[in-house]
Amino acid sequence: MNFQVVVLAGGLSKTMYPLVSKDVPKALLPVGNRPLLSYVLELVEASNIKDIIVVVSGDDAALCVGNWVTEAFHDRLRVEVSGVSEDLDTAEALRAVSHLLTADDFLVVSGDLVCDVPVGAVAAAHRRQGALVTALLWPHPSTPNSETASGDKTKQPTTFDIIGLNSTHQHLLYVSTGMQSARDFQVRSSLLRAVGQMEIRTDLVDAHLYAFNRLLVQGVLESRPGQKSIKHDLVPYLVRSQLGLGVSSTTVGSPLEDRVENVNHLLDAEAFGKNRLPVAHSGLKCSTYIASKDRYCSRVNSLQAYLDVNRDLAGPEAIHLTGYTVSTQNNVIHETSEMGWKSTVGPYCMLGDGSTLGERCSIKRSVVGRHCRIGSNVKIINSVVMNYVTVEDGSLIQNSIICSNVILQERSMLKDCQVGPGYVVGPRMEIKGEALAKKEKL
């Protein structure tokens, strides 16, 4: 298909504290008992696109990710893992790897995307429209209003994107990324004149999967060093300048060669510094691919999202993404795991290989990783337990995330907690709503 894919896999994300550590960067966090990055890579693989550049911030993290990728995707994909400096924003990271891009168009995917929208469909829509950029949008399950009501503290407060589409829902006309805190938002009247009708929607979520026209985006990135973020700078810039002038003369289905020529011409003009708006005259449009409602799409960009996605992956919404076979009880229990007398694992749960449960345990709506040793009378509800965790008798874990190698001593109670890797929770501790992490040894 002559597409390349850039996966922005992040590094030691601050929002995921205390889950990530030097050994486990965000890309390798287990989600549904599989590393997060594997979902994106398999999604891309399913669309028969083989050239992938994984951009990881931080060299150590890049090394970790690189090791895992070579092991897991050896002979399957041509993956190049590229480490960039840690404090780069998305567009800056893209700029850093832009010399590696050779295909006509490329996709940029956020590494924390878990979805089953065929990437190929997005790429095809992009080609069909001859678009400058194609963004994958998916309908938000709830209105922005109810989202704020749920009091989601880890997400950005009450911001939602305002997205303008044309009447056929194919062209992206307007983007306001919710950065502006102002009550009003403004729509250029010339834009409205050009399109006649515009649908402004707030129920669409940007999935952070974009297809870009390479030449143009490389040109923009080069000529505009001020652009930092793809979502907040690059895409709004492209959207704003697409219909800047001569809208009536834009052609949708112009042949590819014309377009490339067009683009070349523009970049020449850009190089001479004469044309401030390379995009305006190109006749290229920004388009969208709107995922249908029955597709699953979610990003692991906060602790809450991490819990939610894990639950979704164990549940009926997204179990197909993991590739596990579901038992008759609607759960996934690895055959090598052992369960003691009267222990129950409810529906929509996962239990990894080699994990053992003691007597009278109960696991509900939770994901338990590999080789965990769980004592007797333990209750795990609505939680994620990673690998090699020891939970002693009588403990209760509710709504919490327990990282690898954690030891919960007997009768400890955790509610709404995140426990970093290797932490030891003392016996009979009752902890609510805290993030626990081992102190880094210097």
CB closer to other proteins out of 123 and 280:
280
What residues line the site for other proteins (CB under 8 A)?
140, 143-145, 160, 162, 164, 179, 182-190, 192-194, 196-203, 224-228, 232-233, 236-237, 240-241, 244-245, 247-248, 276-277, 280
Name the helix (H) or strand (E) containing 148: helix 144-149
CB closer to other proteins out of 176 and 310:
176
CB closer to other proteins out of 97 and 277:
277
Nearest distance from C-beta of residue 231 to other proteins, angstroms: 12
Nearest distance from C-beta of residue 258 to other proteins, angstroms: 23
CB closer to other proteins out of 73 and 160:
160
| Token pair recorded at residue 418 | 């995140």
363: nearest Cα among 331, 336, 335: 331
Residue with tokens 């895409």: 235
Nearest distance from C-beta of residue 201 to other proteins, angstroms: 5
Measured CA to CA, the distance from residue 418 to residue 435 in angstroms comes to 5
CB closer to other proteins out of 5 and 194:
194
Contact call for residues 217 and 133 (beta carbons, < 8 A): yes
Measured CA to CA, the distance from residue 434 to residue 427 in angstroms comes to 17
Nearest distance from C-beta of residue 194 to other proteins, angstroms: 7
427: nearest Cα among 442, 413, 441: 413
Nearest distance from C-beta of residue 22 to other proteins, angstroms: 32
Cα angle: 16, vertex 18, 21; to 5 degrees: 90
Nearest distance from C-beta of residue 157 to other proteins, angstroms: 14
Contacts (Cβ under 8 Å, ≥6 apart) of 436: 18, 417, 418, 419, 420, 423, 425
Contact call for residues 184 and 229 (beta carbons, < 8 A): no
Residue with tokens 């990728």: 69
Nearest distance from C-beta of residue 162 to other proteins, angstroms: 8
DSSP string, 366-426: -EE-TT-EE-SS-EEES-EE-SS-EE-TT-EEES-EE-TT-EEPTT-EEES-EE-TT-EEP
CB closer to other proteins out of 51 and 206:
206
Contact call for residues 300 and 112 (beta carbons, < 8 A): yes
Nearest distance from C-beta of residue 133 to other proteins, angstroms: 15
CB closer to other proteins out of 189 and 328:
189
CB closer to other proteins out of 151 and 226:
226
170: nearest Cα among 194, 199, 147, 142: 199
Nearest distance from C-beta of residue 310 to other proteins, angstroms: 27
Contact call for residues 442 and 426 (beta carbons, < 8 A): no
> Residue 231 carries which DSSP code?
I
Helix (H, G, I), strand (E, B) or coil at 238: helix
Name the helix (H) or strand (E) containing 334: none
The distance from CA 246 to its chain's CA centroid, rounded to whole angstroms, is: 36
Measured CA to CA, the distance from residue 83 to residue 55 in angstroms comes to 6
Nearest distance from C-beta of residue 228 to other proteins, angstroms: 7
CB closer to other proteins out of 46 and 200:
200
CB closer to other proteins out of 192 and 424:
192
